[in-house]
Amino acid sequence: MKLVSSFSLLFLMISCHKTGDGILPTVGPLTESVYSSVTVQPDSLYHAYAKVSGILDANLVEEGDLVAKDDPLVQIINNAPKLNAQNAKFSLELAKENYKGKAAILSGIQDQIDAAILRHKNDSINYFRQKKLWDQHIGSKIEFDTKKLNYELSLNELQSLQNKYDRSKNELQTALRQSENNYQTALISTKDFTVKSKINGKVYALYKEPGENVSTMEPLATIGSVNNFIIDMLVDEVDIVKITIGQDVLIHLDAYDGAIFKGSISKIYPKKDERNQTFKIEATFKNPPKVLYPGLSGEANIIIAKKDSALSIPKAYVIERNMVRTDDGLTPITTGLQNLESVEITSGITKDTYIYKPE
């Protein structure tokens, strides 16, 4: 009798100890999210480049200044385009003179045409008069042939001059149009020495000082929105298929320790960055901080799904993704939503099933 009582007590102690090491699943709200790093940037942010090379004459704005669209930002100097514009203007004036001026080529050809018309008219009169006589068998054959030849030669000369006039006119018109285009192009090049803002915004950075060389490959300034900021995020390629436009985002910025800001997904870039195997997405603030600066960093959780009442257990208790240890041994389970700490159990155990951490 004493032996049986001792065995019963030992079994009770083992059972109590085993139950004491286990935990019960919890029932409550569960949110599945995707983690992302965060960088804050002004909306419509862009680098301003020069269209021509030269030397920076002056920065016409300072960092932090507000600018309107088409406001000048940077002035560049280079004498070559100005000289090109002057040469193009000279060529244009010469082309106009050749086409329209008193000493124009066309005027000289027209004078030759007028003289050819008179000669042809005179030769025509002589020819047809002589032809009429010849038809009446009056006069010599040589005289008739001579007047006919003069008539034909003057006609050919007149036609040749008229063709020359038309051809020269077309060539001069083409030369004039080309000169006008070259001059306009040269003028545009001189205007390109002033870099202007493309948007209403704020000057966030200037990269050159007066006297430094400027090329078309280096940015001169960074311009962006004054009040509208976007959230740049990088998402792993495994998680990108879960992201859709409009999903809620919870944002934590290092500059605002402890504060959580809400946002929503506004854009998904379709191309993967092969260097870090991530996709870029953008979000906008729903409740932005009062003060924001370009480059502020932090982290975010993108809300994928949410349940108000879910049976869940800690992830540390899951074995090989689909089993847990219970009083009955390894028990298969089916999972649902999950986050970094917890996973939803949709079948396999109940809220009254004790589970044990893997050894």
Q: What is the DSSP-derived secondary structure letter of residue 317?
A: G
Full DSSP string of 7-27: HHHHHHHHHHHHHHH-B--EE
Contact 207/221 with Cβ under 8 angstroms?
yes
Q: For position 232, what pLDDT does the model report?
A: 95
pLDDT in tens, 131-159: 887 778 887 888 878 888 888 888 888 88
pLDDT at residue 82, as a whole number = 65
Q: Strand, coil or helix: what is 218? A: coil
- pTM greater than the 0.95 cutoff: no
Per-residue confidence (pLDDT) for residue 299, from 0 to 100: 92
pLDDT digits 0-9 by tens, 67-95:
999 999 998 886 566 666 677 776 767 77
The predicted structure's pLDDT at residue 19: 45
Number of Cβ within 10 Å of residue 163's Cβ equals 10
Walk along the chain (359 residues) and give the pLDDT tens digit of each residue. 333 333 333 333 334 344 457 899 999 988 888 889 999 999 999 999 998 888 898 999 999 999 999 999 998 886 566 666 677 776 767 777 776 765 567 777 778 888 888 888 888 888 788 788 777 888 788 887 888 888 888 888 888 888 888 887 787 777 777 877 777 776 665 556 889 999 999 999 999 999 999 988 999 999 999 989 999 999 998 889 999 999 999 999 999 988 999 999 999 999 998 888 899 999 999 988 988 899 999 999 999 888 888 899 998 899 988 899 999 889 999 988 887 788 889 999 999 999 998 87
Strand ranges of the sheet holding 219-224, from the earlier edge strand across to the other edge: 46-49, 219-224, 201-206, 66-67
Q: Where are the domains of the chain?
A: 34-44+225-306, 48-76+195-223, 80-191
State how far Cα 118 lies from the chain centre. 68
CA distance 234 to 336: 25
**Residue 173 confidence (pLDDT):** 76
Cα(222)–Cα(45) distance, integer angstroms: 7
Distance CA 313, CA 26 (A): 7
Residue 68 has which token pair? 């309107």
CB burial readout 6-29, b (16+ within 10 A) else e: eeeeeeeeeeeeeeeeeeebeeee
| CA–CA dist 219, 199 (Å, integer) | 16
Alpha carbons 231 and 248: distance in angstroms, whole number: 13
Q: State the Cα–Cα distance between residues 213 and 53, nearest whole angstrom.
A: 8
What pLDDT shows up at residue 358?
86
Chain-centre distance for alpha carbon 90 = 39
Q: DSSP letters along 65-96, please? A: -EE-TT-EEEEEE-HHHHHHHHHHHHHHHHHH
pLDDT at 192 (0 to 100): 65
Find the length of the chain. Answer: 359
What's at 328, amino acid-wise? D
Radius of gyration of the chain, Cα coordinates, nearest whole angstrom: 45
Give the right CATH number for 34-44+225-306 from 2.40.30.170, 3.40.50.720, 3.40.190.10, 2.70.210.12.
Answer: 2.40.30.170
d(CA 330, CA 310): 22
Sign of the torsion angle spanned by Cα atoms 70, 72, 75, 78:
positive
Which of the four CATH numbers 3.40.50.10860, 2.40.50.100, 1.10.40.30, 3.90.105.10 does domain 48-76+195-223 have?
Answer: 2.40.50.100
First and final C-alpha spacing in the chain: 37
Residue in 244, 239, 245, 265 with CA at minimum distance from that of residue 38: 265
Q: What is the DSSP letter of 316?
A: G
Q: Which amino acid is at 321?
A: R
